[in-house]
Amino acid sequence: MLNQVVLVGRLTSDPELRTFEDDKTVTTIRLAIQRPFKSGKTNEYETDFISCTLWQGIAEATVDYCKKGSIVGVKARLQQKDYIVDGKKVFSYPEVIAEKISFISKNKE
């Protein structure tokens, strides 16, 4: 079975590192990914905005080397959590969890 997502886009803001009490580090980046075709209604390219969660080493490297406008490639997996609410199982929206990141360009200045 395969659970793999590959995304290439620009960072919409500077990544910020968060550290938990157990010293695990995380950052969430948001990628702007332009669609390869124009909309029939507006005749303009539309853009998707995808959030990705990065943990530990790749989170730290991304904070160190990337800024708003940087182009990155992300190899990731989708993760979905379930919760019990009022005795019923409820599923969250799938999250994009990065497993590898490639720095394609420096930040746009």
pLDDT tier at 107 (50, 70, 90 boundaries)? low
Please give the average per-residue pLDDT across 25-34, as a whole number.
Answer: 97
User: What superfamily would CATH give domain 5-103?
Assistant: Nucleic acid-binding proteins (2.40.50.140)
CA distance 78 to 82: 14
Nearest by Cα to 67 from 12, 1, 2, 5: 12
pLDDT at residue 22 above 60?
yes
CA distance 26 to 54: 6
pLDDT at residue 13 above 70?
yes
